[in-house]
Structure 1
């Protein structure tokens, strides 16, 4: 049974599984975050798009307009730095204020997707404390402070959904990822703890993408892509499809060993965990990497 759309929030006559739900996605202006926002909106959820920098404001605004028009749901944009001590609380307050300005309904956050994250590679000898603090602040402390700030607005009937974007870097021991891999391992540990602490309110799961065709992939030096070949080559779903995949991916298939995921593919798995049908799944790290990482 789904909630009816809150007063003041656009609705459609077509039944959609997330109709009337409100989803908050961090780092939502591009890449996986934008794909998740589109997917959840297509299923009827109103969405809060978080972004952190002025350079992303235009993208966030354009995405919000696209989503509101195409899916007939409410869409709000909120600038807030998840990596600052006050950013997560500011995000929740601003989202609440924006929602209540358009609706008389109760402000409840049904879905949170902790997608915002940063990465930087360095060998042991080149490691810098400032990079450690930067990555742990955004990838670990930020999600924790966000859930803390959101606690008053989470459901109380186990219908809530939290999905954390981890990475196979948490478990595969990639060279030069002492810090980044550690942040994702920490996020997975928090996922399990939150699943217990929030059991009467929501499920909490993580997904662990491998390489994804985002702007981070596009900026990755070719030699770094080639370094993924041993993993990509053995990923069952990474085989390049010449009539389907982008030409750049086809051209690099021998060197890279296969293809990265497309953001929509990862978003589909996130959305699956946000569904009513996923209500008996919590505390898990779910494969979102085409079989690059198979756990038992």
Structure 2
């Protein structure tokens, strides 16, 4: 098996479940040692189980760190724990890959948006990635071999109703992606990916009204058509039952695109928002 990331070190935020866990699986399969970050106590056992599985399957090293990356103290804890665990016997320490995956979404129409929703969502989705990159910058490679991948969303471009705040955070993250690509050009490439609907609790929590509102996009997304005999019967039936008309992405499909951007093959790609949405957006 090809292991193009053998011996490298990656930090993935929000990595205990969903897309984050799938990205961890992808990078581990490529030989990358991993720091699995998570926030809530309820994720502790999930993170530990994932770490054990990745170490056993791929012979890598892992570290689980519970820290709120939307706070300066949380980021300091994350980077300090990483440095303590992965500094070599000769005293060298390098962070090769950062995947800013942690994020929250709280839909609300304009009159119902609260200050708490605004502050929480921007703190996690925008401030968190900035704080982590700030803290990690001194330890990034000096030869452009590093990789930063930011998890954006089609919501930055589609104008989904109810997502004034969430969509705004993802647009901000894309703007920072372009700035970081210039400022960190001698250290690493910096790219974003923009998933659309993805399997998991976040997608399942959408209201029928929200799903009806995005049905037009889903129906015109080339790769979201459910495939009887390929996709499970449950997936095919769910696409009919929820009224969306199509299936969400599988987490491994999004993870594959993130993993690709972390390899040496992606060395000439930076400052981009790379499609991870089955063709829902073809202009971005």
TM > 0.5 = yes
1:228-273 deviation per Cα after TM superposition (whole angstroms, max 9, x unaligned): 2111100000010122223332113232111110110000000111
Give the alignment's Cα RMSD to 1 decimal: 1.4
Out of 186, 189, 195, the residue aligned to residue 203 of structure 1 is 189
Q: Distance in 2 between matches of 1:158 and 1:268?
A: 22
Determine if contact 1:226/1:257 at 8 Å carries over to the other structure.
no
How far off is 1:20 after superposition? 1.0
Structure 2 residue 268 is the aligned partner of structure 1 residue 274? no
Aligned to 1:226: 212
Structure 2 gaps of 5+ residues are none
Q: Distance in 1 between matches of 2:28 and 2:104?
A: 25
Runs of 4+ in 1 over 6 A off after TM superposition: none
1:104-140 deviation per Cα after TM superposition (whole angstroms, max 9, x unaligned): 5622110000000000001111110110000000000
Q: Distance in 2 between matches of 1:259 and 1:53?
A: 29
Structure 2 residue 125 is the aligned partner of structure 1 residue 139? yes
Determine if contact 2:70/2:131 at 8 Å carries over to the other structure.
no
Q: Distance in 2 between matches of 1:155 and 1:54?
A: 32
Out of 229, 234, 241, the residue aligned to residue 227 of structure 2 is 241
Aligned to 2:271: 283
Aligned to 2:280: 292
Q: Distance in 1 between matches of 2:22 and 2:91?
A: 27
1:17–1:262 CA distance, 2 compared to 1 (3 A): same
Q: Distance in 1 between matches of 2:145 and 2:176?
A: 20
Aligned to 2:10: 23
Q: Distance in 2 between matches of 1:44 and 1:232?
A: 35
Structure 1 gaps of 5+ residues are 1-13
**Aligned with 2:223: secondary structure?**
coil
1:25-78 deviation per Cα after TM superposition (whole angstroms, max 9, x unaligned): 000000000000000000111111000111100000000000000000001101
1:15–1:134 CA distance, 2 compared to 1 (3 A): same
Aligned to 2:78: 91
Structure with bigger helix share is: 2
How far off is 1:96 after superposition? 1.1
TM-score, normalised to structure 2, is: 0.96
How far off is 1:225 after superposition? 2.6
Aligned to 1:10: none
How do 1:174-185 residues align onto structure 2 when only pairs under 5 Å count? 174-185=160-171
How far off is 1:88 after superposition? 1.3
Q: How many residues end up aligned between the 2 structures? A: 282
